[in-house]
Amino acid sequence: MERNQLIAVVVIIVVVGSVGAYILLAPPPITLAEDQTIVFETIALPEYLDPHKDYESAGSHVSFNVYETLYTYPWDTADTTPSVPLLATDVDISSDGKTYTFTLRQGVTFHDGTPFNATCVQMNFWRMLGRGWDDGFGPVWMVAEPILGGQAVEDAVFEYGDRTPEHIAAWANWQENVSAIEVTGDYEVEIHLEYAFAPFLPAITYAVGAMISPTYFMAHGGMSPESDDFTLDSDMCGTGPFVFDEWIDNDRLTIVRNDDYWREADAKTTHPYAGTIEEVTWKKNIDVNSRMLNLQAGTTDTCDWPTTNAYDIWNNVTTRNNNGVGQSINPEVKVWMGLPNYNVAFLGFNMNDYLNYSGEIVQNPFQDWELRTAITYAFDYDAYINDLLNGIAIPLAGPIPQGLFGHNDAIVPYVTDLDTAVAHWNLAMENGLDDIFENNSWQINIYYNEGNTGREGASLMVKSALEAIIADPASTDPSSTVTIDVYGLEWASYLYQVRNRQLPIFFLGWMPDYADPDNYISPFVKSTGTYPYRMGLDGSTGEDDVAWATATIDDLIAEAAQESDPATRITLYNQILDAVMAHNAFVWTSQGVEFHVEGAWMNGYVFNPMHDEYWYHYFKTA
C-alpha cells in the first residue's frame, strides 16, 4: 500500500494556572498515508438510505456517518447513554416526563445549504410518522407510540396498511390538530409525549431520529404518506461529516467528506486528525475468503470478518487491548475481541397457519408447540458457540441480553437434551405432524442470508438437530422420508421473505436501537412488534394448545414502558420473559461478543454497542 511521508509535529504548550504550570502534549508524530479513502467489504448493502424508513444494520451504519440526531453517544467510550448534545445543545425534561424542550444548535446547515432550526425538527418529526412505516416494518414505532397522538397513526397503519386512506387521514389529523411538536423559538422546540417514556431520548438517537433537510424532502415526496416519490430511498441530505456520493445497487455505496462540516473545529480539539478521511466505500462481497484475503493484502481497509473464521486472524489471546495489535496473528491486521455487546442471535419459527412454498400454499408444521420445543432441545448450543463461533459469544436466555437493565439471571439458557427433544417430537406426531409433512411433500426448508457464515452454519445445525431426532430409535418415524434443505438468499430477498411471512424458519440477529429492555421486548413480543407479525405470534398456541395471551402481554409491555420505578419495571419484564420462554416461538442461540478486524494502517476504532464505525474520527497512517 503506497503511503506518503506527511509527518505530524509534536507541539508543546505550557499553560500557567492557579495551581502552577503544566504541559499539554499534542499527539505523538505520525506519518499519514497518502491514500485517505476507506474501502469496507461487507456482506450486505442497505435496504434503503432513508433513515426514517430503513430498519437494518447496514443502513444505520451509513446514516450514522451522513445524518445527525439531536443527541449522540460519548465519543471514544462504550457508554450507551446518549448524553452528548449534537444538533441540540441542551434538553429540559418536565417533572412529569411528558415534555422535552430542546435548545438547538445554531450555525448548522444541511448538505444542500438549508439552515437547521426548530422548524426543521418539527417537520422531520412530522415526516417520521408520515413516511417511516415501510408497510409496517419501519423503525418509527419507537417514536410514534410514546409521542402525543402518535398511537392513532400507528393503529391506522397496522389496521389498514401503510399509505392507505385511513393512514393518510390519521396522519393529517395528527399533524394538523395535535400539538405534539411545537416550535417555541427559532432554536427551541417542545416535544410532547402521551406518557412518560424513559427511553425517549435514546430512541430518537437511533437513525429514525435523524434530521433530513426539509427543503430536500419537501421537493422529493414531502411528509405525507400519500406521496409516490421515494427519492430518499436511494439518496441522502443531512448535516453530518460525510455527503452521499453514489449507490450502485448490489455493488457499492460511497460517501465523501463534507468540507463544510459544522463540527470540524470542535472535533479537532479532541481528535486532531478528524476529517482526514476523504471517502468511504461499502463494497459488497459475499465471499468470506475473498474478503479476508483482500484485507490482508491491503487492497481493502476493513471487512465483515465473521467469528466463524476468527482463527484465520485471531491468536486466541483473550485479553483485549485498545490498540488492536495484541490479538492478531498478522502484524498488518488489527483485531479487537472480548467485550460483550447487546446483539442477540435467534432462530424464529413461523407460526402462521400456512406457508407459501414457491407459490404452493401448504400447512405449517411449526404451529405445533411440541415440534418447536423439540427443536429447542435438539439444537446444540455448545457446538454453536464454541465450535461454529469459536467461543466468541455467550449463552442467551430470552431476548434481554446480559449487562442490560431488565436481564433476569434466574432464567437459565436451554441446554441440549435429545431425549427430551424426542419426547416432544413424538407428542407432535400424535398431534398430526405426519399429515402436515405429507401436505408439505415431506420437506422442510431452512433459510439464511448468503454471505453470513454464522447463520449458514446455524441453519445446518438445525438440519442436523431435526435429523438426529428422526434418527433416534425412540422417535416416531414419519410415514415417508422427510427431506431437510438449507438455502441461502440475497439479503434484500431474505428480508422481504421474512417480512412477508414466507420463511418457515429463519435466523436473524437483533442490534439494539436504544439500550433499554423495551427495545427488546416490544420488537420480539408485542403484537405490533417487528417479529410477532412476521411469525404469527398473535393467534399461535403454546403448551396444551393455550393461545398466546396477546392482550395481556401487550398491556404488560405498555405498563413496563411507562413505569418509572426500576423495581416495578423488573417485575413486569420478568412476567413477560416467563411467557416468552414458555411459548418457544424463538430459539435463543447466543449473545454477541465484540470481534472487529481492520488494517494496521487504520486508526479511530472505538467499541460501542450502539453503533458501528464513526469514520470522521478515523485516519490512515503509513
Give the pLDDT of residue 4.
33
Per residue in 531-541, pLDDT (tens digit) is 998 899 999 99
How far is the first Cα of the chain from the last one, in angstroms, to the nearest whole number? 8
Give the pLDDT of residue 164.
97
Mean pLDDT, rounded, for 115-136: 97
Mean pLDDT, rounded, for 125-140: 95
The whole-angstrom separation of Cα 80 and Cα 407 is: 16
Give the pLDDT of residue 1.
40
Q: Which residue type occupies 557?
A: I
Residue 208: which of 63, 44, 62 has the closest Cα?
63
Which residue matches cell numbers 451522513?
66
The whole-angstrom separation of Cα 80 and Cα 205 is: 11
| 278 contacts 36 by C-beta, under 8 angstroms | yes
Which grid coordinates belong to 246? 453514489
Q: 3-class SS at 543?
A: helix
Using a pLDDT cut of 90, give the percent of the chain over it.
Answer: 89
Q: CA angle at residue 281 from 275 to 285, to 5 degrees?
A: 150
Give the pLDDT of residue 28.
65
Pairing type for strands 302-303 and 279-284 reads unpaired
Mean pLDDT, rounded, for 546-563: 95
Torsion of CA 257, 258, 261, 266, to 10 degrees: 10
pTM, 2 dp: 0.88
pLDDT at 20 over 60: no
Confidence of residue 5 (pLDDT cuts 50, 70, 90): very low
Give the pLDDT of residue 15.
39
Confidence of residue 528 (pLDDT cuts 50, 70, 90): confident
| 35 contacts 2 by C-beta, under 8 angstroms | yes
Give the pLDDT of residue 25.
47
Q: Is the dihedral of CA 308, 314, 317, 318 positive or negative?
A: negative
Instruction: State how far the alpha carbon of 528 is from the alpha carbons of 155, 170, 326, 405, 455, in Å.
Output: 9, 18, 46, 23, 26
* Burial tier of 65 (Cβ tally within 10 Å: 0-12, 13-18, 19+): buried
* Burial tier of 109 (Cβ tally within 10 Å: 0-12, 13-18, 19+): middle
Per residue in 291-343, pLDDT (tens digit) is 999 999 999 999 999 999 999 999 999 999 889 999 999 999 999 999 999 99
Q: Strands, E, within 258-307: which ranges?
A: 279-284, 302-303
pLDDT at 16 over 80: no
Per residue in 209-228, pLDDT (tens digit) is 999 999 999 999 999 999 99
The whole-angstrom separation of Cα 374 and Cα 378 is: 6
Q: CA angle at residue 98 from 95 to 102, to 5 degrees?
A: 90
Give the pLDDT of residue 566.
93
| 453 contacts 288 by C-beta, under 8 angstroms | yes
| 595 contacts 315 by C-beta, under 8 angstroms | no
Per residue in 167-219, pLDDT (tens digit) is 999 999 999 999 999 999 999 999 999 999 989 999 999 999 999 999 999 99
Strand-pairing partners, residue 619, are 603
Transcribe 328-339 into DSSP letters: BSSTTEEEEEEE
| 536 contacts 503 by C-beta, under 8 angstroms | no
Which grid coordinates belong to 334? 488489527
Strand-pairing partners, residue 486, are 446
Confidence of residue 12 (pLDDT cuts 50, 70, 90): very low
Which grid coordinates belong to 594? 465484540
Give the pLDDT of residue 216.
98
Structural domains of the chain sorted by starting position, each given as residue range(s) with its CATH number in brackets: 42-241 (3.40.190.10), 254-337+595-620 (no CATH), 341-513+587-593 (3.10.105.10)
Give the pLDDT of residue 146.
96
Number of separate helices (H) and strands (E) present in the chain: 19, 25
Transcribe 387-446 into DSSP letters: IISTT-EE---SSSPTTSTT--TTSPPP---HHHHHHHHHHHHHTTHHHHHHHTTTEEEE
Per residue in 428-485, pLDDT (tens digit) is 999 999 999 999 999 999 999 998 999 999 999 999 999 999 999 999 999 999 999 9
Mean pLDDT, rounded, for 90-102: 97
Cβ atoms within 10 A of the Cβ of 273, count? 21
Q: Which residue type occupies 4?
A: N
Torsion of CA 580, 550, 527, 162, to 10 degrees: 170
Confidence of residue 26 (pLDDT cuts 50, 70, 90): low
| 180 contacts 125 by C-beta, under 8 angstroms | yes
| 282 contacts 252 by C-beta, under 8 angstroms | yes
